[in-house]
Amino acid sequence: MGEVIRKREKPLQVNPFKLSQPMGATLAFLGVDKCMPLMHGGQGCTSFTKVFFTRHFCEPIAIQTSAVTDVIAVLDGGDYSIVESVKNITQKVSPSLIGLHTTGLPETKGDDIRGVARKIEFPMVAVNTPDYEGGFESGWALACKAMIEQLVEPAGHINDNKLVLLPHVSLQPIEVEKIKEFIGGFGFNVLALPDLSTSLDGHLGEKQAALSSGGIAVEEIRSLGDAGLVISVGDSMRDCAIALQKKNTDMRHHHFAHLQGLEATDSLVEMLLAETGFSGPPLPVARWRLRLQDAMLDSHFSLGQSRFLVAAEPDQLAGICQSLHDAGGKVALAISTVDSPQLEKLMADKVIVGDLEDAEDMADDYDVMIGNFHCEAIAHRLHMGLILRGYPNWEQVGNSLKNDVLYEGGSYFLFEAANTASGTQNE
What is the distance between the alpha carbons of residues 30 and 37, in angstroms, rounded to a whole number?
Answer: 7
Distance CA 236, CA 246 (A): 18
- Cβ-contact 36, 202 below 8 angstroms: no
Q: How far is CA 419 from CA 69, 189, 251, 306, in A?
A: 51, 37, 43, 11
Stretch that binds other proteins, among 18-26, 144-152, 294-302, 328-336 (CB under 8 A): 18-26
Segment contacting other proteins by CB under 8 A, of 145-153, 202-210, 244-252, 278-286: 202-210
Selected range binding other proteins among 21-29, 113-121, 258-266, 277-285, rule: CB under 8 A: 21-29
265 makes contact with other proteins (CB under 8 A): no
In this chain, which of 27, 28, 31, 66 binds other proteins, going by CB under 8 A? 66
Q: Is 297 helix (H, G, I), strand (E, B) or coil?
A: helix
Residue 70 interacts with other proteins (CB under 8 A): yes or no: yes
**Site for other proteins contains 214 (CB under 8 A):** no
CB atoms within 10 A of CB 384: 21
Q: Which of 159, 181, 255, 373 binds other proteins (CB under 8 A)?
A: 373
- Residue pair 96/124 in contact (Cβ under 8 Å)? The answer is no
| Residue 359 binds other proteins (CB under 8 A) | no
Residues 6+ away with beta carbon under 8 Å from 207: 213
**Of 37, 95, 99, 135, which lies in the binding site for other proteins, with binding defined by CB under 8 A?**
135
If one asks whether residue 208 binds other proteins (CB under 8 A), the answer comes out as yes
Q: Which of 241, 233, 191 is nearest to 216 (CA)?
A: 191
From candidates 4, 5, 114, 133, binder to other proteins by CB under 8 A: 133
Please report how close the Cβ of residue 355 comes to other proteins at its closest, in angstroms.
8
Q: Is 86 in the site for other proteins (CB under 8 A)?
A: yes
Binding of other proteins by 121 (CB under 8 A): no
| Contact between 41 and other proteins per CB under 8 A | yes
Structural element, H or E, at residue 50: helix 43-57
92 makes contact with other proteins (CB under 8 A): yes
CA distance 122 to 426: 60
Closest by Cα among 365, 331, 262 to 1: 331
> Whose Cβ is closer to other proteins: residue 194's or residue 354's?
354
CA 94 to chain centre: 27
Q: How far apart are alpha carbons 386 and 417 in whole angstroms?
A: 9
Residue number, 26 or 265, with CB nearest to other proteins: 26
Q: State yes or no: residue 197 binds other proteins (CB under 8 A).
A: no
Tell me if 396 contacts other proteins by CB under 8 A: no
Question: Which range binds other proteins by CB under 8 A, 80-88, 118-126, 179-187, 285-293?
Answer: 80-88
Contact between 159 and other proteins per CB under 8 A = no
C-alpha to C-alpha distance for 17 and 374, rounded to whole angstroms:
7
Question: Is residue 224 within 8 Å of 145, Cβ to Cβ?
Answer: no
Contacts of 381 (CB under 8 A, 6+ apart): none
Question: In this chain, which of 2, 4, 5, 15 binds other proteins, going by CB under 8 A?
Answer: 15
Distance CA 93, CA 278 (A): 47
Rounded CA separation 226/245 (Å)? 10
Q: At 380, which amino acid appears? A: H
Least spacing, CB of residue 75 vs other proteins, in Å: 12
Q: For other proteins, give the closer residue by CB, 106 or 409.
A: 106
CB-nearer residue toward other proteins: 68 or 192: 68
Q: How far apart are the first and last CA of the chain?
A: 30
* Least CB distance to other proteins at residue 258 (A): 24
State the minimum distance, in angstroms, from the CB of residue 171 to other proteins: 20
Please state, as a whole number, how many other Cβ atoms lie within 10 Å of the Cβ of residue 280.
9
247 near other proteins, judged by CB under 8 A: no
Interaction between residue 100 and other proteins (CB under 8 A): no
Q: Of 367, 328, 337, 333, whose CA–CA distance to 350 is shortest?
A: 333
Residues that bind other proteins (CB under 8 A): 10-23, 38, 41-52, 54-55, 58-60, 64-70, 72-73, 80-82, 84-89, 92, 103-105, 108-109, 130-133, 135, 204-206, 208-209, 373-374, 377, 394
